[in-house]
């Protein structure tokens, strides 16, 4: 299922939501704040990270090597956050949460924008996600053993552990008022698209956030929002097959399809 869905461009619809959940974890938010230039180049960080993460699937049969390379990028990311709490990026509580938010975004992309998943599909997708996490070589002691326990874990972290860290507050500000440049996009085109696309992407993020997190950041979601979101989901589902295949998948996924001769279907 990761090979079929993990490289879809539709996944970018959940990117802001997944990023916000990551940065609301105290240890993860502090690491990004103190060890990256996130506040000056937020999009550059995303564009560096996403293809590498997709490589854990699409670099097959070398996906495990890609995973270990990603892990090794985090070896020296440690310190003390603004409240005096020590953190390390390779702490399993921190590292698994980063993986969990990406997995959750993939699950939502399929379930909301492709088809409602059966319990068997959810179990399969989660089992595959566990195999990918183990490839990083980070302790899996916090990893829930199955899909139902993962749902409980995810809900608990959202209710009890997340907070509005400085990095999370920065992402919210960027989402509502995007930076004035975007890598790989010509400046005149980006200027034209910058504000018209910001509001819909933030609206999608708010609609897909867990309710406790939505309340924590002070965002409302009305019955009208829900009505509009259902119709937006239907629009994406019905028009996606009309998109040319080469535009449906990221470059890392297409490279994997070409190298192996195995397509997404």
How confident is the model at residue 49, as a pLDDT?
A: 84
Identify the pLDDT of residue 22.
Answer: 95
pLDDT value at position 244? 92
Measure CA 258 to chain center.
25
Q: Token digits for 158? A: 């959202």
Measured CA to CA, the distance from residue 41 to residue 36 in angstroms comes to: 9
Number of neighbouring beta carbons within 10 Å of residue 12 = 14
d(CA 41, CA 62): 30
16 CB-near residues (< 8 Å, 6+ apart):
171, 175, 201, 202, 204, 205
Torsion of CA 17, 18, 21, 23, to 10 degrees: -110
Tens-binned pLDDT, residue by residue, of the chain (265 aa): 999 999 999 999 999 999 999 999 999 999 999 998 777 776 666 667 889 999 999 999 999 999 999 999 999 999 999 899 999 999 999 999 999 999 999 999 999 999 999 999 999 999 999 999 999 999 999 999 999 999 999 999 999 999 999 999 999 988 887 766 665 556 666 566 666 666 888 999 999 999 999 999 999 999 999 999 999 999 999 999 999 988 999 999 999 999 999 999 8
Contact 13, 109 (CB under 8 A): yes
In this prediction the pTM is 0.92
Give the three-class secondary structure for 140. coil
Domain definitions of the chain by residue range: 2-240
Q: Supply the angle between the helices 92-113 and 119-135 in degrees, to the nearest 10.
A: 150
Contacts of residue 65, defined as CB under 8 A and 6 or more positions apart, other chains included, come to 59
| pLDDT score for 184 | 54
């Amino acid at each position: 299922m990761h090979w079929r869905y993990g490289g879809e461009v539709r996944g970018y619809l959940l990117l802001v939501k997944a990023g916000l959940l990551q940065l609301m974890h105290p240890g993860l938010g502090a690491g990004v704040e103190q060890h990256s230039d996130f506040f000056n180049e937020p999009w550059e960080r995303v564009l560096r990270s996403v293809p590498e993460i997709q490589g854990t699937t699409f670099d097959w049969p070398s996906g495990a090597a890609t995973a270990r390379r990603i892990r090794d990028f985090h070896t020296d990311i440690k310190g003390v956050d603004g409240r005096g709490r020590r953190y390390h990026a390779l702490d399993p509580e921190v590292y698994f949460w980063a993986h969990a938010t990406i997995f959750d975004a993939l699950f939502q992309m399929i379930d909301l924008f492709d088809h409602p998943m059966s319990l068997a599909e959810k179990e399969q997708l989660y089992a595959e996600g566990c195999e990918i996490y183990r490839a990083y070589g980070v302790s899996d002691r916090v990893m829930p053993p199955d899909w139902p326990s993962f749902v409980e874990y995810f809900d608990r972290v959202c209710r009890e552990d997340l907070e509005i860290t400085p990095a999370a507050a920065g992402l919210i500000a960027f989402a509502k008022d995007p930076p004035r440049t975007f890598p790989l996009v010509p400046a005149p085109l980006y200027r034209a698209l910058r504000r018209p696309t910001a509001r819909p992407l933030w609206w999608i993020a708010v609609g897909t956030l867990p309710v406790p997190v939505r309340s924590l950041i002070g965002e409302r979601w009305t019955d009208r929002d829900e009505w509009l979101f259902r119709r937006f989901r239907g629009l994406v589902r019905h028009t996606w097959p009309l998109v040319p295949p080469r535009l449906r998948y990221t470059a890392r996924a297409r490279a994997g399809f070409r190298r192996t001769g195995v397509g997404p279907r």
